[in-house]
Structure 1
Amino acid sequence: MLLAEQPGIEVVGEVADGRAAVTAVERLRPDVVVMDLGMPEMNGVEATRAICRDFPGTQVLVLSMYSGEEYVRPAIRAGASGYLLKGSAFSKLLAAIAAVARGGAFFSPAIAKLVLVDSRRRETHPADALTNRECEILRLVVQGQSSNQIARDLGLSMKTVEGHRGRIMAKLDVHHLAGLVKYAVRAGLVSPDP
């Protein structure tokens, strides 16, 4: 009732289970679904997954009393753009709906910390294993410098530079120079410009 009274928000439907939520989204095509996790027929995670897969124009905001990672992680993996804890101020719910409607994300502070920790844990990149010297040599390779030029500029032997290049390629699982340059630029490890 409170949402229906807000300017700019139109409540187009209410359902009691996950399967009905998916059916309602198919029929009504809302911008945002406020999803509970504990529902009969199809739980909120399954419903979120189906909605995000089949109706990419609809954003899902989870509103739940559960803050444990065993609830949060599956909901985020299913495609939820936000996760708000029940009991949050109504103004937070409005802010969350607005954020996900714009294509952004919104998380309760406790949930945001969990998402951040997960992101840092999972988003390790093969390039994270590169040493500072290897990063420097990679940058010079991408800029088009030969091993001879790199050795001269850095005061290293040609053999040392070749060894670094070999380790860089092994760490990034790249097998030729063109692939190394392409990988480094595409992954944003270096800029192709000097």
Structure 2
Amino acid sequence: MTRILIADDHDVVRSGLHSILGSQPGWEVVAEAGDGKRAVELASETQPDVAVLDYQLPFLNGVDATREIRSVRPQTEVLIFTMHESEPLIRELLQAGARGYLLKSDARRFLIAAVEALARHQPFFTGRVSETLLSSYLAGGSTSGSTLTPRERGVVQLIAEGRTNKEVAMVLGINIKTVETHRAAVMRKINANSSADLIRYAIRNKLVEL
């Protein structure tokens, strides 16, 4: 039996994925989450074989949720299911521990194959994603990824979602002074002068949706 966790902040997407994946012989959808933090909790509780995560999740985005899931449950393979085709994003997700990357536009053709591959602990990338990585490699693309740490990205995401420093601290389980320290570090790194600059950065780097 292949156990699957689904995480997406859109009910209709979760419902569609559940219907498709749950109907496959020998597969069971054991949990659904609407945000990254809950996805990590459910991965620990239900111990899925494969976690299908949207990149743009509230609280913790796909990169940070992947990293935490792989930390608490190394046996769980992560498939990122997203509309974004970005070489730096793909690299960052691979570094976080994801072994599969599927564009939502390719789901009809490749979703089942992607989950099957990850259930066998084999990586899965469509030709389009492989071409993106290959083109970057041939062009001498950078492998350094984001200048922000995972915690800093989490703080920026929550601020961009409209949360106060106190709320950010509660969500991330840290104190307000630490939030303020991370916020100041981010603003220095990205040359931001206001919360509006942080929000623009979050949107530009796809930490939040418009």
TM-score by length of 2: 0.54
- SS of 1:56 mapped into structure 2: coil
Aligned-pair RMSD on alpha carbons? 1.8
Tell whether 2:86 aligns with 1:52. no
Aligned sequence identity (%): 41
Contact 2:87-2:133 within 8 A present in 1 as well: no
2:116 and 2:48 mapped to 1: Cα distance? 13
Unaligned runs of 5+ in 1: 123-194
CA positional deviation for 1:117: 5.0
Higher relative CO (Cα under 8 Å, sequence separation at least 6) belongs to 2
Specify the code of the residue in structure 1 equivalent to 2:62.
G
1:40 and 1:89 mapped to 2: Cα distance? 22
User: Which structure is larger by alpha-carbon Rg, 1 or 2?
Assistant: 1
CA positional deviation for 1:54: 2.3
CA positional deviation for 1:14: 0.6
CA positional deviation for 1:36: 0.5
Paired residue for 2:39, among 9, 21, 36? 21
- SS of 2:30 mapped into structure 1: coil
Matches within 5 A, 1:79-118: 79-116=97-134
* Shift in CA distance, 78/16, structure 1 to aligned 2, threshold 3 Å: same
Unaligned runs of 5+ in 2: 1-18, 142-210
CA positional deviation for 1:89: 4.2
- SS of 2:79 mapped into structure 1: strand
Residue 41 of structure 1 is matched in structure 2 by 59
1:43 and 1:99 mapped to 2: Cα distance? 23
Tell whether 2:91 aligns with 1:73. yes
Specify the code of the residue in structure 2 equivalent to 1:7.
P
The count of aligned residue pairs is 122
